[in-house]
Amino acid sequence: MQDTDTLPEAELSQNREIVDAFIKASRAGDFEGLIAVLDPNVSLGGDARALSMGGVTLNGAEAVARSFMGKAQNARTGLIDGAVGIVVAPHGELLLVINVTIAGGRITAIHAVAEPAALERMELSVL
């Protein structure tokens, strides 16, 4: 588990801006907005439970951007074990979290976690 005190405030703020932009573009169905925040070689995946809920495994910015078009209606930027990510909790019920890896100002990996035991072990907060 990563302590938020170990991340420089500037990095935390920059990562939040990137995740906020990703969620906004996803909700709006803004393909170019999604492409702008995704690394060309971004990977998308999830745990077994997330995949059974309709998640997919994809590689590449265009494929990942298409998969998020018009989605993220219940997504909120949050802290997941001290790192900026996405919390999905429709009607206040935690459904899944999305861990986001950011490097060079772009999202390089997206990994959905929906296994209840894994979610219980996470330290979560919505920003």
For the chain, the structural domain boundaries read 4-126
Cα gap 114→85, rounded to integer Å: 14
What does the mean pLDDT of the chain come to? 92
The contacts of residue 39 (CB under 8 Å, 6+ apart) are: 61, 103, 104, 106, 107, 108
pLDDT at residue number 6:
58
- pLDDT tier at 9, thresholds 50, 70, 90: confident
Cα gap 29→44, rounded to integer Å: 18
With 80 as the cut, is the pLDDT of residue 2 above it? Answer: no
The contacts of residue 72 (CB under 8 Å, 6+ apart) are: 22, 23, 26, 27, 86
Read off the amino acid at residue 78.
G
Read off the amino acid at residue 88.
V
Burial of residue 48 (CB within 10 Å: 0-12, 13-18, 19+) is exposed
- pLDDT tier at 4, thresholds 50, 70, 90: very low
Domain 4-126 class in CATH:
alpha beta
Q: Among all chains, which residue has been given the structure tokens 């997330």? A: 50
What is the pTM for the complete model shown? 0.90
What is the average per-residue pLDDT within 47-70?
95
Pick the residue with more confidence: 56 or 60? Answer: 60
